[in-house]
């Protein structure tokens, strides 16, 4: 989904307002969505970073709800329900950089050589468990295509090289990823 700079900014503001409201005990209010793009169902992830360090990351792979609703829901989950971290506090809020990744539809990977590190995110599906890694994870850790697949299997709780056995389904996707720091830097 191609989003305009205004739509990206609107989604980032929505994510921040949603987290702020929850921290202050204000019920989530649904603001009117003016852009038709933001009303379309889409998979999306929200990543929170505190001074560059991961603080939470949760999302929806499948397009279950309108994008604006997905952003509100996964913002709350990333801030308060990521099992790897304690809930975000009001003291941290000003330091958080919010990043949003809007996912393309999943496509089946028939030949793992078609996976482009840094462009594609991966889903490994074993039927009873799934693992997902966003595209930027492989580039941050300088992984090869094979290492990316291994780590996605591990994320699913599977032995790293399970993807080689043909017992799992592998999907790829692309993202449109943007953050508050990107928007701030673009405006300067």
What does the domain layout of the chain look like in residue ranges? 5-103, 107-173
Q: Write down the pTM of the prediction.
A: 0.89
Overall fold of domain 5-103? Glycoprotein, Type 4 Pilin (3.30.700)
The domain covering 107-173 belongs, at the CATH homologous superfamily level, to Hypothetical protein ph0010; domain 2 (3.30.1490.150)
- Residue 24 confidence (pLDDT): 87
Spell out the residues 6+ positions from residue 113 whose beta carbon is closer than 8 angstroms to its own.
Answer: 145
DSSP conformation letters of 54-115: EEEEEEESS--SBHHHHHHHHHHHHHHT-TTSPPP-TTTGGGEEEEEEEEPPPEE-SSGGG-
Alpha-carbon distance of 88 to 43, in angstroms, equals 23
In the structure, what pLDDT confidence band is assigned to residue 28 with cuts at 50, 70 and 90? low
The average confidence (pLDDT) of the chain is 92
Model confidence at 176: pLDDT above 80? yes
| Inter-residue long-range contacts of 12-16, CB under 8 Å, 24+ positions, other chains counted | 12/98, 12/100, 12/178, 12/179, 12/180, 12/183, 14/68, 14/71, 14/72, 14/75, 15/46, 15/71, 15/72, 15/75, 15/98, 15/100, 16/75, 16/98, 16/180
Query: Rounded mean pLDDT of 9-30?
Result: 87
- Range name among 31-35, 88-92, 111-115, 128-132 with the lowest pLDDT average: 31-35
Spell out the residues 6+ positions from residue 116 whose beta carbon is closer than 8 angstroms to its own.
Answer: none
β-strands 169-173, 107-108 pairing: antiparallel
Alpha-carbon distance of 16 to 32, in angstroms, equals 16
Model confidence at 116: pLDDT above 60? yes
> pLDDT per residue over 123-163, tens digit each?
999 999 999 999 999 999 999 999 999 999 999 999 999 99
> pLDDT per residue over 32-76, tens digit each?
566 888 999 999 999 999 999 999 999 999 999 999 999 999 999
- Residue 187 confidence (pLDDT): 59
Alpha-carbon distance of 25 to 43, in angstroms, equals 27
Q: Using alpha carbons, select from 113, 179, 102, 180 the residue that is nearest to residue 135.
A: 102
């Amino acid at each position: 989904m191609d989003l305009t700079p205004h739509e990206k900014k609107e989604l980032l503001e929505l994510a921040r307002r949603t987290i702020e409201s929850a921290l202050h005990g204000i019920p989530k209010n649904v603001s009117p969505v003016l852009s038709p793009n933001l009303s379309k169902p889409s998979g999306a992830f929200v990543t929170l970073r505190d001074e560059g360090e991961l603080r939470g990351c949760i999302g929806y792979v499948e397009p279950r709800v309108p994008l604006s609703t997905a952003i509100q829901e996964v913002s709350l989950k990333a801030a308060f329900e990521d099992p790897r971290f304690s809930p975000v506090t009001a003291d941290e809020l000003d330091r958080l950089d919010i990043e949003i990744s809007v996912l393309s539809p999943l496509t089946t990977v028939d030949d793992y050589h078609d996976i482009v590190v840094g462009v594609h995110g991966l889903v490994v599906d074993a039927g009873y468990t799934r693992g997902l890694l966003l595209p930027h994870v492989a580039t941050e850790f300088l992984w090869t295509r094979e290492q990316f697949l291994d780590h996605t299997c591990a994320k699913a709780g599977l032995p790293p090289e399970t993807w080689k056995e043909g017992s799992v389904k592998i999907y790829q996707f692309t993202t449109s990823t943007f953050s508050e720091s990107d928007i701030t830097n673009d405006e300067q």
